[in-house]
């Protein structure tokens, strides 16, 4: 990347611009080669300025929430990775309406809702992403989707002002909210029902305990690797193809939940990708179903 751009970025966000930053530090898999530059702007104004500068210079921008749905290849990411974590961190409620910045961890939003006696999102407990990631991916769990409670999102394109899009205008579906590519989610507004805080907290706890029993929580993964079919869970197809425990290098199919691949022994991104391809092939051969990844695989291949 042009060193002049790095200098300009550093002037906008001092101390927050890191050339050649390993993405392994910023993904739940703990994997991924270097981004040409990783930036975590400290506030909204500096994020907007960085985004505009990058766009005008023709540098590709990848927005990063908490990196919990990403597999970044060893060759790293061409262009800039822009983290929302600090820039969009506000969280406010008025009655049953909550306005939340895209960089806020989903867990923080859920705890806030429980303390405020607001119910509706409890099933999303245990999803380790950010509000922005949940909004873009339409994160869902146990029959509840982020879209179910979404009144609107504020989004913008680099160099442009924010626009408010009503949830009802978005074409949300399974793991897809329908937010156009290239738009950055700034904030989501959610509408929730009221309940006593202790009841909401108890439901949150119940969901978290259920996930501890049924998912390899605490291990390095990106959650479910493949999308489910409307009539069949991906884990059941992987299980029936005899792939539980299948391994490529340090990447292994979890024996707790077969749709999770774990980085358990110093895997490389290529180990994980090879295991993904092996699962696809084997499931297709044995069941005739073609699995589609839910995890986003990005970045340059290793030389």
Ligand X SMILES: Cc1cc2nc3c(=O)[nH]c(=O)nc-3n(C[C@H](O)[C@H](O)[C@H](O)COP(=O)(O)OP(=O)(O)OC[C@H]3O[C@@H](n4cnc5c(N)ncnc54)[C@H](O)[C@@H]3O)c2cc1C
Q: Which residues bind ligand X (CB under 6 A)?
A: 28, 62-70, 84, 102, 127-130, 132-134, 136-137, 139-141, 184-185, 221-223, 296
Residue 54 C-beta: closest distance to ligand X, Å: 14
For residue 79, give both structure tokens: 């262009």
Residue 223 C-beta: closest distance to ligand X, Å: 2
- For residue 185, the cross-strand partners are 155
In terms of CB distance, is 69 or 152 closer to ligand X? 69
Residue 27 C-beta: closest distance to ligand X, Å: 7
Residue 156 C-beta: closest distance to ligand X, Å: 9
In terms of CB distance, is 134 or 248 closer to ligand X? 134
Residue 85 C-beta: closest distance to ligand X, Å: 9
In terms of CB distance, is 64 or 248 closer to ligand X? 64
- In order, the DSSP letters of the chain are --HHHHHHHHHHSTT-EEEEEEGGGGSTT----EEEEEE--SSHHHHHHHHHHHHHTT--EEEESSSSSEEE-TT-EEEEEEE-TTTS--EEEETTEEEEETTSBHHHHHHHHHHHTEES-GGGTT--SBHHHHHHHT-EETTEEGGGGEEEEEEE-TTS--EEEEGGGS--BTTB--PPTTPEEEEEEEE-EE--HHHHHHHHHHHHHHHHHHS-TTSS--SB-BPPBTTB-HHHHHHHTT-TT-EETTEEE-SS-TTBEEE-SS--HHHHHHHHHHHHHHHHHHHS----BSSEEESPPP-
In terms of CB distance, is 74 or 215 closer to ligand X? 215
In terms of CB distance, is 141 or 268 closer to ligand X? 141
Whether residue 49 contacts residue 12, with contact meaning beta carbons closer than 8 Å, is answered with yes
In terms of CB distance, is 107 or 268 closer to ligand X? 107
In terms of CB distance, is 66 or 280 closer to ligand X? 66
Nearest by Cα to 123 from 98, 107, 143, 138: 143
Residue 58 C-beta: closest distance to ligand X, Å: 19
Angstrom distance (rounded) from CA 49 to CA 130: 22
For residue 118, give both structure tokens: 């607001």
Residue 173 C-beta: closest distance to ligand X, Å: 12
Residue 202 C-beta: closest distance to ligand X, Å: 20
What's the half-sphere exposure (Cβ side, CA atoms, 13 Å) at 227? 16
In terms of CB distance, is 120 or 223 closer to ligand X? 223
């Amino acid at each position: 990347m042009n060193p002049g751009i790095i200098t300009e970025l550093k002037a906008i966000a001092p101390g927050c611009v890191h050339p050649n930053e390993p993405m392994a530090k910023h993904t739940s898999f703990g994997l991924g080669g270097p981004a040409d530059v990783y930036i975590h702007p400290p506030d909204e104004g500096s994020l907007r300025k960085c985004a505009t500068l990058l766009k005008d210079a023709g540098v590709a921008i990848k927005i990063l929430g908490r990196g919990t749905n990403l597999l970044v290849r060893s060759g790293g990411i061409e262009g800039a990775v822009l983290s929302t974590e600090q820039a969009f961190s506000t969280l406010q409620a008025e009655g049953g309406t909550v306005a939340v910045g895209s960089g806020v961890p989903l867990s923080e939003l859920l705890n806030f809702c429980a303390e405020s006696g607001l119910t509706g999102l409890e099933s999303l407990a245990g999803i380790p992403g950010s509000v922005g990631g949940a909004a873009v991916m339409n994160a869902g769990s146990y029959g509840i989707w982020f879209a179910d409670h979404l009144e609107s999102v504020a989004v913008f394109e680099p160099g442009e002002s924010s626009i408010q899009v009503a949830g009802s205008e978005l074409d949300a579906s399974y793991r897809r909210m329908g937010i156009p590519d290239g738009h950055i989610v700034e904030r989501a507004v959610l509408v929730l029902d009221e309940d006593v805080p202790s009841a909401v907290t108890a439901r949150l706890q119940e969901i978290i305990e259920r996930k501890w029993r049924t998912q390899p929580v605490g291990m390095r993964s990106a959650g479910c690797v493949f999308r489910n079919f409307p009539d069949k869970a991906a884990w059941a197809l992987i299980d029936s193809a005899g792939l539980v425990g299948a391994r490529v290098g340090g990447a292994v199919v979890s024996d707790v939940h077969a749709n999770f691949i774990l980085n358990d022994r110093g895997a490389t991104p290529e180990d994980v990708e090879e295991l993904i391809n092996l699962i696809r092939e084997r499931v297709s051969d044995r069941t005739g179903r073609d699995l589609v990844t839910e995890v986003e695989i990005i970045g340059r291949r290793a030389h």
